[in-house]
Chains A and B, each alone.
Chain A
Amino acid sequence: MRKLLHYMKPYLKECILGPLFKLLEASFELLVPLVMAAVIDTGVGQGDRAYIYRMCLLLVGIGAVGLAWALTAQYFAAKASVGFCTRIRHAVFAHIQTLSFSQLDRAGASTLMTRMTSDINQVQSGTSLALRLLLRSPLVVFGAMLMAFTIDVQAALVFVGIIPLLAAVVFAVMLWTLPRYKQVQARLDRVLGVVRENLSGVRVIRAFGREDSEARRFNGENEALTRLQIFVGKVSALMNPVTYVLINLGTVALIWVGALRVQGGKITQGQVVALINYMALILTELIKLADLIINISRALACAGRVESVLEIPGGMELPSNGGAVGADGSVAFGDVCFGYDGAAGESLSHITFRAAAGETVGIIGGTGSGKTTLANLIPRFYDASTGRVLVGGQDVRDWPLETLRGRIAVVPQRAELFSGTVRENLLWGRADAEDADLWQALETAQAKDFVESAGGLDAPVAQGGRNFSGGQRQRLTIARALVRRPELLILDDSMSALDMATEAALRRALLALPQKPTLFIISQRAASILAADQIIVLEDGEAVGIGDHPTLLGSCQVYREIYESQFGGEGTA
């Protein structure tokens, strides 16, 4: 919570003024029983009708001023709580943008989404309530006690006895429920997880006829959530009745003491009524406070969850001196090792190679051999554990990150597009590209035909690009990368959904690009990388062969096996 409070800073003024006006309003409310006591004792006691009218006019006046102050307080509270959460939302979103790929892998999109939406909303309503009411209730309670002292010290001691008891009940319930609300939210996360999974895996689940067991799993999670909610609710529901009983016992004690004092002639009957009214005031205040505390407990639980996102350490260390920019699109790896967080072994070990600008490098190897990992080190999506990755002769850790990534275009394995139009998606590559550039990129990516028939650059793209087929999405993501006119282009197995004819045409077009980027092609298919200047053969994270096709055929056993598994028996080569 402490970390989040920092975002409240610009609203410091509102945070002070809001509760302050609320306090003013509350203190006016405290005057009401006094005035009423005067009405009873002076007005009724002495039969002074004019006095009664005057006092009642005073009551209306007090109400009106209280209203004005309350409105002011509401405004400040709303402004502060909304502003506070707007800033938090900004901070969390901005922070997510800086997370490294491995951190994103670990956090998971669905949790990040709940934290950004429902958790922050809870924090907002909790803050607004706290600003308006949190100070008010204790003030009314203590104010009522003070007022009681002005009436009669002995009677007021009843208040002194009862208030700590009330506070103990309130805090005990709060302390008990706070961690439980966190558990409730976590349970809700799991329910959400099951739903998400059932949507994304609907085909497999139905194909295996597992609908019933999935429903059972969901019902299990759902039931567990319900039970926990009922259980937490049961305990937090104790707060009101217990305080209610305590206060009434207080009233009983108060009346008894009052009776003794009246008998002794120390106070009047009207003053006893006033004392009872103050006790009643405490009761109504505490009922509000109970609701408030339930809400605030929930908000605190949610705030903790939001904060935990912010506490994920920022992704990368950036060069402190602004960085240095490399010369060209050449790439060199010097004894690079890399292991994913929490993984048992290294994903890449001791990789060394050099690729001149404009060269084509093929990366081939078995499933899980480290191909994607190697490519991910070039735009510094991950940092090498040891060794150096150089782009344009400069260590990637010395490049300003944005500049580095601006020179490189990556086409990832998973073809992801964003809702909008084809044009908007392509402009991600380069914001100031002309339509002609876009069409050219589409043509190179073999995407011109279907984009034309879909309605041109303004054709809509649905969320995730789901209105295009897998192969079309891949070609659009390639076009997006080409729009950038990168010095370095990385295709991470991004032609897998294309049929052979399309892939071949695409590859020819890529090789004929006028600006000749350094081209990294990751593929499972030997055919895709045969023509490369240099082929890196990976196996279990090690480079077992580096060289061109004829060399590797002669010298690298693994490469030969891959090649023969694809071309063998046909004699095409």
Chain B
Amino acid sequence: MKQAGAQKETLKKVLRYVARHRLLMAGSVLCAALSVACTLYIPVLTGGVVDHILGPGRVDFAAVAAGLLRIGLIAAAGGIAQWLMKDLNNRAAYRVVRDVRADAFAKLSRLPLRYIDGHPAGEVVSRIVADVDQFSDGLLMGFTQLFTGVLTILGTLLFMLAVHPGITLVVVLVTPISLLAAAFIAHRTYSMFKLQSQVRGAQTGFMEEIITGQKVVQAFGQERKTLERFDELNTQLQKASLRAIFFSSITNPTTRFVNSLVYTGVGIVGALTVLSGGLTVGQLSAFLSYANQYTKPFNEISGVVTELQNALACAGRVFELIDEPARTPDAPDAVALNAAQGRVAIDDVCFAYQPERPLIEHFDLRVEPGQRVALVGPTGCGKTTVINLLMRFYDVDSGSIAVDGTDIRRITRQSLRANYGMVLQDTWLKSGTIRENIAFGRPEATPEEVVAAAKAAHAHSFISRLPQGYDTPVGEDGGSLSQGQKQLLCIARVMLHLPPMLILDEATSSIDTRTEMRIQRAFAKMMRGRTSFIVAHRLSTIRDADVILVMRDGHIVEQGDHATLLQKGGFYKELYESQFAGNLPFS
């Protein structure tokens, strides 16, 4: 029941999308009607012509020629109508799909990060790409066959009634058998199809994981084991598919058999009627071809219904994504933050990714414009989370964060983020050229500015050594560049558009220290007068910070500058000294 309700909901949503293209749909229905009418009219004409061909010497050639001319014209009209209908259907279906996909993607950029972090990327991708694709197939087939099917059934009924109501009754009485048979089979196969898509889902999940982690698989010589596991799923899928496909494929022959019964019935009754003089031979021939055409759509419609169900299921998954609650929109009175001074105040902030595992509790911090703030502490202590909150990737659970005295929830996200320059440990690059990547934050930058930024980030020398220099394409996920090279590009990206505040989250973790030293100098220049937040494991890189926050389990345990903290002899000193402990061959 609940499932049926959900399906209805989905259908409503689909119809809303379809309604946007109602002109196309109306045209399509019109053309479908026209094409069906032509198709149905032709047997009448043919039957009429045959009645003028009675026997040797009894052929009325003038009447035959007139009839044939009419057949030709009607066929041409029908053909054109058919083509127009298909084209209109294509346009409507593909545009509906385009709209759904665009909405899904638009949603993606408004989803809270909590959702994106919490769902495997492959799953979201398959919703926007594979599910939408399946949906488009179903929709297209539905449009084309449902309209013509229903119209054909209605049309043939009318024509048959016009020719002979009695025989029509025979046809109408026998056809439900074909529907019953189709419904029976469809009902039985539904669960088989469900099983098939379950197994398929499991297999896809497994593949996604193994293929993305392929190098590790090979490094640990797990090829055979993963292949075994894959084959297990593959065999399961084979069994499930075979059952589903075979049992669903018996629908067609079965209904065709029922149709042949209809045909035979018409034959008997028709022939007897001709004998008793109620029908001409030409009419009988027309009737026979109607009987043929009348039953066919039932066949198709039963197929369309399964296809549509599948399409609706896929559409449902896409709509789930589209209907996912968006992040809280910017407040209506939100202000745009222009060129912030960089005063940041964090007041009594609590935050947890999962409610049952509090991470940051009662966090307070005041940062004056231009100050350099370093966050240090063991892995998992909440350093990166603080960054997530500053950038408003996540909203605080309680307390507040203010920039220049304004709560960041009352600042537009776009302008808040535009005031931060961010370099993360995760070195994401988009596919495109090196130049496009550096100019990501400021696409209008001149080539000279791009080179200057690359030089400042010490990326210029390796870029010049690449085969196509700044126009070298960067593949999916950075491709062949090393982790460190990618990080240099990320730094250049920030160097190019220098916002008033900086966030460097392990910005140099993959860069060798010699290069890092030079970058640090560039950073130092960059940070002058800018409020900066630095997360680093290498404590050497943060010695010069104005404030060092030592974090542990979501709390600040120590706070002060390098000298003070060392003197204090607490957790910071312990961390700092452990850098060198146990490494020196001479200690």
Q: Does A199 contact B (CB under 8 A)?
A: yes
Instruction: Name which of A266-274, A349-357, A436-444 contacts chain B.
Output: A266-274
Interface residues of chain A: helix, strand, loop or mixed (majority) = helix
- In the complex, chain A residues whose CB is within 8 Å of the CB of B83: 237-238, 240-241
Given contacts A66-B260, A272-B53, A366-B514, contact A74 B537 (CB under 8 A): no
Please determine whether B108 and A195 come into contact, CB atoms closer than 8 angstroms: yes
A284 to B263: give the CA distance in the assembly, Å: 15
The contact of A244 among B75, B226, B441, B540, by CB within 8 Å, is B75
Q: Does A176 contact B (CB under 8 A)?
A: no
Please determine whether B216 and A207 come into contact, CB atoms closer than 8 angstroms: no
Nearest-CB residue, chain B, relative to A563? B513
Please determine whether A96 and B214 come into contact, CB atoms closer than 8 angstroms: yes
- In the complex, chain B residues whose CB is within 8 Å of the CB of A39: 267, 271
A387 to B253: give the CA distance in the assembly, Å: 67
Please determine whether A500 and B578 come into contact, CB atoms closer than 8 angstroms: yes
A505 to B296: give the CA distance in the assembly, Å: 76
Please determine whether A366 and B512 come into contact, CB atoms closer than 8 angstroms: yes
Please determine whether B234 and A501 come into contact, CB atoms closer than 8 angstroms: no
Please determine whether B578 and A504 come into contact, CB atoms closer than 8 angstroms: yes
- In the complex, chain A residues whose CB is within 8 Å of the CB of B204: 113, 117
Please determine whether B484 and A402 come into contact, CB atoms closer than 8 angstroms: no
Please report the total number of B residues contacting A with Cβ < 8 Å: 176
Q: Does B86 contact A (CB under 8 A)?
A: yes
Instruction: Name which of B12-20, B57-65, B151-159, B165-173 contacts chain A.
Output: B57-65
- In the complex, chain A residues whose CB is within 8 Å of the CB of B373: none
Nearest-CB residue, chain A, relative to B80? A241
The contact of A496 among B231, B261, B509, by CB within 8 Å, is B509
Near A by CB (< 8 A), chain B positions 264-320 give 264, 267-268, 271-272, 274-275, 281, 284-285, 288-289, 292, 296
Q: How close is B169's CB to chain A, nearest CB, in angstroms? A: 18
- In the complex, chain A residues whose CB is within 8 Å of the CB of B61: 259, 263
Given contacts A199-B108, A500-B579, contact A273 B281 (CB under 8 A): yes
Given contacts A241-B83, A340-B480, A500-B579, contact A269 B121 (CB under 8 A): no
Q: Does B237 contact A (CB under 8 A)?
A: yes
Please determine whether A269 and B246 come into contact, CB atoms closer than 8 angstroms: no
Q: Does B163 contact A (CB under 8 A)?
A: no
- In the complex, chain A residues whose CB is within 8 Å of the CB of B513: 524-526, 562, 565-566
The contact of A78 among B227, B242, B443, by CB within 8 Å, is B242
Q: Does A171 contact B (CB under 8 A)?
A: no
Give the number of A-B contacts (CB < 8 Å): 494
Interface residues of chain B: helix, strand, loop or mixed (majority) = helix
Q: Does A154 contact B (CB under 8 A)?
A: no
Q: Does A198 contact B (CB under 8 A)?
A: yes
Given contacts A49-B275, A276-B285, A416-B216, contact A367 B56 (CB under 8 A): no
A525 to B536: give the CA distance in the assembly, Å: 13
Instruction: Name which of A137-145, A300-308, A527-535 contacts chain B.
Output: A527-535
Please determine whether A471 and B510 come into contact, CB atoms closer than 8 angstroms: no
- In the complex, chain A residues whose CB is within 8 Å of the CB of B285: 40, 273, 276-277
Q: Does A173 contact B (CB under 8 A)?
A: no
Nearest-CB residue, chain A, relative to B69? A252
Q: Does A210 contact B (CB under 8 A)?
A: yes
A118 to B253: give the CA distance in the assembly, Å: 28
Please determine whether A203 and B428 come into contact, CB atoms closer than 8 angstroms: yes
The contact of B476 among A70, A110, A572, by CB within 8 Å, is A110
Please determine whether A200 and B261 come into contact, CB atoms closer than 8 angstroms: no
Instruction: Name which of A159-167, A217-225, A325-333, A391-399 contacts chain B.
Output: A217-225
Given contacts A248-B72, A508-B582, A528-B583, contact A94 B227 (CB under 8 A): yes
A249 to B108: give the CA distance in the assembly, Å: 54
Q: Does B335 contact A (CB under 8 A)?
A: no
A562 to B515: give the CA distance in the assembly, Å: 9
Please determine whether B580 and A572 come into contact, CB atoms closer than 8 angstroms: yes
Given contacts A526-B513, A528-B583, contact A209 B95 (CB under 8 A): no
Given contacts A40-B271, A40-B281, A472-B379, contact A280 B414 (CB under 8 A): no
- In the complex, chain A residues whose CB is within 8 Å of the CB of B378: 499, 501-502
Nearest-CB residue, chain A, relative to B231? A90
Q: Does A105 contact B (CB under 8 A)?
A: yes
Please determine whether B584 and A524 come into contact, CB atoms closer than 8 angstroms: no
The contact of A70 among B53, B253, B575, B579, by CB within 8 Å, is B253
Q: How close is B388's CB to chain A, nearest CB, in angstroms? A: 9
Please determine whether A202 and B94 come into contact, CB atoms closer than 8 angstroms: no
A320 to B116: give the CA distance in the assembly, Å: 48
Given contacts A96-B211, A429-B220, A463-B209, contact A230 B94 (CB under 8 A): yes
Q: A109-B214, A132-B249 are in contact. List 8 more A-B contacts (CB 8 A).
A: A66-B260, A109-B208, A116-B211, A222-B98, A244-B82, A264-B56, A502-B378, A504-B581
Enumerate 30 A-B pairs (CB-CB under 8 Å) in ascending A order: A40-B271, A43-B271, A52-B268, A97-B227, A193-B476, A201-B429, A206-B391, A208-B417, A211-B109, A215-B106, A219-B105, A223-B98, A226-B94, A230-B90, A233-B86, A249-B75, A251-B46, A252-B68, A256-B68, A273-B285, A276-B50, A284-B296, A369-B512, A412-B216, A463-B208, A464-B120, A505-B578, A524-B516, A526-B513, A531-B585
